[in-house]
Amino acid sequence: MTLHASYDPDNIFAKILAGSMPSIKVYEDPVALAFMDVFPQSEGHVLVIPKQVEARNILDMPPDQLGPYMHRVQKVARAVDAGLSPDGLVLTQFNGAPAGQTVFHLHFHIIPRWTGIPMGRHAEGKMATSDQLEPLAKKIRAGFG
C-alpha cells in the first residue's frame, strides 16, 4: 500500500479495537491500546495503537490527538522497562509498505533489547502463543505500578 490511501476499517488492529479479534492487552485507556505483538522481534515486544481515530500512519494522525497518544507510547515504554529490565528499548513506527508497514493502522513498536541477544526481523518471526506472551504481559502490567 502506498503512503496515501484510504483507511481500511477491516484491518487487524481495527478488529482488535472492536473486540472481534483477540489480543493480550497490557494497557488500555480512552486514547490508546497496548498489546503483545504475536510476531515478536524480542521477548516483550509490545504494540501501541491509538483508539477512536482512523489513522493509517503518523501523517494521518490529527495533531490534537498526537500528543496524548505519544504520552501513552512513553507510558507503555516505561512499563516495559520497569517490568522486564531490558538493556535498551527500540521504539519504531513505519509509514507505508515501502517503509516496512504491514498493518495500516498507526502503531508504535516497543521492542526490549538485551546485550548479546539479537533482535528478530520485522514481520518475519514465528508466531508466539498465548502461553508464551501472557507471562511477559503480566510483568509489563506490573511495570505500571
Domain residues of the chain, as ranges? 12-142
Cell 498493518, located at residue: 103
Catalytic residues: 107
pLDDT at site 125:
78
pLDDT at site 54:
97
Kindly report the average pLDDT of the chain as a whole number.
96
| Cell triple for 75 | 507510558
- Residue 84 has a CB neighbour count (10 Å cut-off) of 19
pLDDT at site 123:
79
pLDDT tens digits for range 27-50: 999 999 999 999 999 999 999 999
What are the phi and psi torsion angles at 91 (to 5°)? -115, 125
Confidence class of residue 145 from pLDDT cuts 50, 70 and 90? confident
Correct CATH for 12-142 of 3.10.580.10, 2.60.120.10, 3.30.428.10, 1.20.120.530: 3.30.428.10
Beta bridge partners, 35, equal: 25, 47
